[in-house]
Chains A and B, each alone.
Chain A
Amino acid sequence: MSTTTDCGCQPTPATYTVKDFRSNLKPIWCPGCGDYGVVTALYRALVNIGRPPHEIAFISGIGCSSRIPGYTTAYGFNTVHGRALPIAQGIKMANPDLTVLVAGGDGDGFSIGGGHVPHAIRRNLDLTYIVMDNHIYGLTKGQLSPTTPRGSKTPTSSYGSIEEPVNPLLYVLAYGAGFVAQGVPADMEGLANLIEEAIRYPGFAFVNIQSPCITFGEPDDQLKAQKTRMRKLAAEGHDPSNRLRAMELAQAYGTELYTGVFYRNPNPPITYDQHIRDRQAELQPTAAEE
């Protein structure tokens, strides 16, 4: 168990178990959904981080995956579609001592909420943004999402999609995120480590999780297929401090299933929340002045 303070928090001696982070709400996800693996990996990561649940705020948007905060014992906020990031930033600004996690689907983050992503990244608050990318709108029963491959036939594209999907990895790298990773629930241990590392990164951290939709997704995306398709970046010899190489590898989104850390800024800049603390300290009248 680690007691490092990389995340800006002061972890109490790690005495937590998965049970401390699991709520008594039963997930509504379909049996076989990738999101079960995500929440389990998250519990494990939080055990390792070692902060008490009440010091964690977990914010989500709308969609199947956005139900996730309710399955933890953290302070959860299941908000409106696409607005998890700005709400989370307000929380972190109002109380920088909290560990703030943000989660949602690919539609929440890259379609309806897409306009907030570059700004959250350029501000660089110490947040962890987890996207459960299933290439489909699951909650509304299978329509095109921003990451659905071209040509896909869905209830809103009976003749096949005629638009290019977005590449979330390349987007966030281009926007300047300091930590960018991709994981799969099929590799539970790897995913838990990635989430933990993302939380520990002092700044905006992005984890794209290829979390398959068992009901509307493609067979190639399912957990079983992930096991054979996944290629670990570490095993490929990728140096995560190399941003340009990370962007090159990210080009393969949609064809190759890379997992691991694409990019980690070796010299993390001062976070927005730290700037806020500094400014408040500088401008607030001292006790003597008051």
Chain B
Amino acid sequence: MNDLIIGMAGSGGDGIVSAGESLISALSREGYYGILTKSFGSQIRGGESSCRLRVATTPVLNPGGTLSVAIVLNWEDFMRFGGELPVGPDTVVIYEKKTGVEPSEVPLRVRPAVVMAVPMAEIAMKAAHALQAKNNVVLGLLAGWFGLGRQAILEGIRRKFGKKGPEVLQANEQAFAAGFEYSEQHPLGADYRMAPPVAVGVKRQVTDGNEQCAAAALFAGCKFFGGYPITPATEVMQHLQKDIWKHGGSLLQAEDEIAGIASAVGASYAGRKAMTATSGPGLSLKTEVLGLASLAELPLVCVNVQRGGPSTGLPTKPEQADLFAAAFSSHGDTVRPILAPISVEDMFGITVEAFNVAEEYQTPVIVLSDQEIAQRKDIVDAVDTSRFKLVERLQPNAQELQNYTRFRLTDSGISPISHPGMKGGSYLAAGIEHNEAGAPSSSGEMHAKMNDKRLRKLSPLLQRRDLFVVEGNPDAAIGVIGWGSIAGVVLEAVRTARAQGIDVKLLIPKLIYPIAEGIYQDFFRSLRHGLVVEQSHQGQLHRIIRMWTDVPKSFTSMAKSGANPITPGDVLQRIVHLSSGSASAPAPALNPTH
């Protein structure tokens, strides 16, 4: 096999997620690629927990659909995850014998390929005299049956438990060995062993989107972060508070979301690159200050890690339903650019791009990440930072400072910006409409000119084809659009369809807003059927595209509420359906659970 999807579920104390983390680190060292996603009940500690690990010999695009392997420590917890851990006819199901369920009576709707009851707790007690070692028994079983990095896992166990004394280390090593031994004594029947890694020796890391965001911000020259803890964005602040000082910057854990963004706007006014990060409820609170940054033309990066909403919603689950809020939740005529990463790896480049756009156009930029990209762990190649160019804001030259006009109406709409401390550059920044010099103005004529300036300056963005991924035959009659963490799903589905001979093409926008009308129009030209795949109930991108473009006659939305995974298989099925020419017939319904 060269693509394996392992799903594990248990109670909080079973250490299932920790096993997943150990495994992905080991596989990274071995030379594999992978994605680890974790899912929890809403308890802060304890309760049910699960993870999915997809491992492959080539870069992994998404967490995948149906499991190749299901590890069930207890059936009740496993079943709670429903569609997040789908079992199919090809799945190998390995479960704790102590659950007392007969292999013929497992509570699954399909009959899996293999069902194995393993006395995991018993093995752990025998080998390590500790129930907590159960997760290392699981790792032993996986290493044995699926040929997954035995040496690297052992190395990881030594690193993790070495500090805890020889007894603890030995117990865990023995648990792993006992699991491995069990697998050798009980063959699965068919060979499920993973193919050896291909890209050995490439420098890579196990990382998540929030970590990449923080790293990219520092690389881009961010000197200030103001924010407030909120799931699932908090880690951005947690990473930055360790390192930003080393770069001559500072960070404020503010008293609320508003003060978080307000302090960042202040830092930007003071001439520094500044950022805030939040999730839906925080974005709602920040909108007034975002408007201030738009009117005062101050660069600012606002990262919004989407979770299920509205209100508290589903704080630990992904959704792509903050697009309307990000695009439209400002009063007045304003446009603030929205960028979205398509993977953990892409979060680095998108964050750098967000700083560049913010500084170049003196505007707030919203980065729409989501819980999955923010918190899933990916094995990625080390970032090649030499491919990024950094943009600095346009400052007034000596001559311009002789008679400085902050909001000069230029052709590009961009006017040089000074900052406190710069002699000759004093001006009044304000949320109130102003004339070119910055003096408050309530003239309708001036307001129209300034609105035009603030919108005009963003127009070069609409030509940024590099912020769109396009694949497939340009003349294809079927076109699929996906964004954010769904992009990887769509990419895999389209590639699979093309491999099956279906003529389909793909468009993945990373510039989500403003809508680059021309780029969409070019994509639509050959289409008989357009399809937008996204994780929101209303299909928000589908609707926004329709506001700005002339869409193909058949332009459908494949949208699911957050926390309901959309798999490459789901999308492929829809593409096949469209290609069979029966687009007018009802499309196969999406099953929200299995």
Binding site for B on A (CB under 8 A): 25, 52-57, 59, 62, 67, 69-70, 73-80, 83, 85-95, 97-98, 115-116, 118-119, 276, 279-280, 282-285
Contact = CB atoms under 8 A, between A and B. Distances in A.
A78 B272 contact: no
Given A90-B264, A94-B224, 5 more contacts: A54-B421, A87-B263, A91-B420, A276-B245, A276-B250
A70 B270 contact: no
A98 B264 CA distance: 16
B239 to A, nearest CB: 15
- Most B CB contacts (10 A, CB to CB) among A25, A80, A118, A285 go to A80
Interface in B408-446: 419-432, 439-440
B177 interface: no
Given A77-B430, A78-B429, A95-B420, A284 B248 contact: yes
B505 interface: no
B271 A95 contact: yes
Contact of A73 (B255, B260, B426): B426
B265 interface: yes
Contacts of A90: 224, 226, 252, 262-270, 274
Of all A-B residue pairs in the complex, the 10 with the closest CB atoms, nearest first, are: A90-B266, A90-B263, A86-B259, A94-B267, A86-B262, A87-B266, A94-B270, A75-B420, A119-B255, A78-B430
A75 B266 contact: no
A94 B223 contact: yes
Contact of B270 (A53, A57, A62, A86): A57
B292 interface: yes
A119 B440 CA distance: 31
A87 B224 contact: no
A87 B274 contact: no
B259 A54 contact: no
Given A86-B263, A115-B256, A280-B245, A93 B250 contact: yes
Contacts of B245: 276, 279-280, 282-284
B289 interface: yes
Contacts of A284: 245-248
- Most B CB contacts (10 A, CB to CB) among A78, A90, A116 go to A90
B71 interface: no
B259 A83 contact: yes
B263 A89 contact: yes
Interface in B260-311: 260, 262-272, 274, 288-289, 291-292, 296
B276 to A, nearest CB: 10
B174 to A, nearest CB: 42
B168 interface: no
Contact of A77 (B226, B256, B260, B429): B429
Contact of B246 (A55, A95, A283): A283
Given A57-B270, A93-B252, A62 B224 contact: no
B460 to A, nearest CB: 28
B266 A89 contact: yes
B461 interface: no
- Most B CB contacts (10 A, CB to CB) among A55, A74, A77, A118 go to A77
Contacts of B270: 57, 90-91, 94-95, 98
Contacts of A98: 270, 420-421
B288 A94 contact: no
B258 interface: yes
Contacts of B226: 86, 90
A62 B423 CA distance: 27
B169 interface: no
Contacts, number: 153
B250 A86 contact: no
Contact of B428 (A77, A80, A118): A77
Nearest to B251: A93
A55 B274 contact: no
Interface string B228-250: 00000000000000000111111
B428 A87 contact: no
Contacts of A279: 245, 250
Given A86-B266, A89-B252, A284-B246, A94 B428 contact: no
B369 to A, nearest CB: 23
A79 B292 contact: yes
B267 A91 contact: yes
Contacts of B250: 93-94, 276, 279-280
B224 to A, nearest CB: 5
A109 B431 CA distance: 17
Contacts of B427: 75-76
Nearest to B243: A283
Contacts of B194: none
A167 B269 CA distance: 32
B214 to A, nearest CB: 16
Contacts of B256: 115
A86 B254 contact: yes
- Most B CB contacts (10 A, CB to CB) among A75, A98, A285 go to A75
A118 B254 CA distance: 12
B420 A54 contact: yes
A55 B430 CA distance: 18
Contact of A94 (B271, B292, B426): B271
A90 B269 CA distance: 9
B248 A76 contact: no
B253 to A, nearest CB: 10
- Most A CB contacts (10 A, CB to CB) among B226, B266, B268, B289 go to B266
Contacts of A54: 420-426
B264 A285 contact: no
Nearest to B422: A54
A74 B429 CA distance: 11
- Most B CB contacts (10 A, CB to CB) among A25, A78, A93, A98 go to A93
Contacts of B269: 57, 77, 87, 90-91
Nearest to A118: B255
Contacts of A70: 428, 430, 439-440
A74 B419 CA distance: 11
- Most A CB contacts (10 A, CB to CB) among B249, B292, B421 go to B421
Interface in B301-334: none
A32 to B, nearest CB: 22
A256 to B, nearest CB: 32
Contacts of B248: 280, 284
A64 to B, nearest CB: 13
B430 to A, nearest CB: 4
A276 B247 CA distance: 12
B221 to A, nearest CB: 13
20 contacts: A25-B439, A54-B421, A54-B422, A57-B420, A75-B427, A78-B428, A79-B430, A85-B259, A86-B226, A86-B262, A87-B265, A90-B224, A90-B269, A91-B266, A93-B250, A93-B263, A94-B250, A115-B256, A276-B250, A280-B248
A21 to B, nearest CB: 11
Nearest to B264: A90
B258 A86 contact: yes
Nearest to A75: B420
Given A77-B430, A87-B266, A94 B255 contact: no
B440 to A, nearest CB: 7
A148 to B, nearest CB: 25
A65 B271 CA distance: 26
Nearest to A60: B430
Contacts of A53: 426
B425 A93 contact: no
B50 to A, nearest CB: 38
A116 B259 contact: yes
A80 B431 contact: yes
B255 to A, nearest CB: 4
A169 to B, nearest CB: 21
Given A62-B431, A94-B272, A115-B256, A83 B421 contact: no
B7 to A, nearest CB: 42
Nearest to B418: A75
A285 B245 CA distance: 10
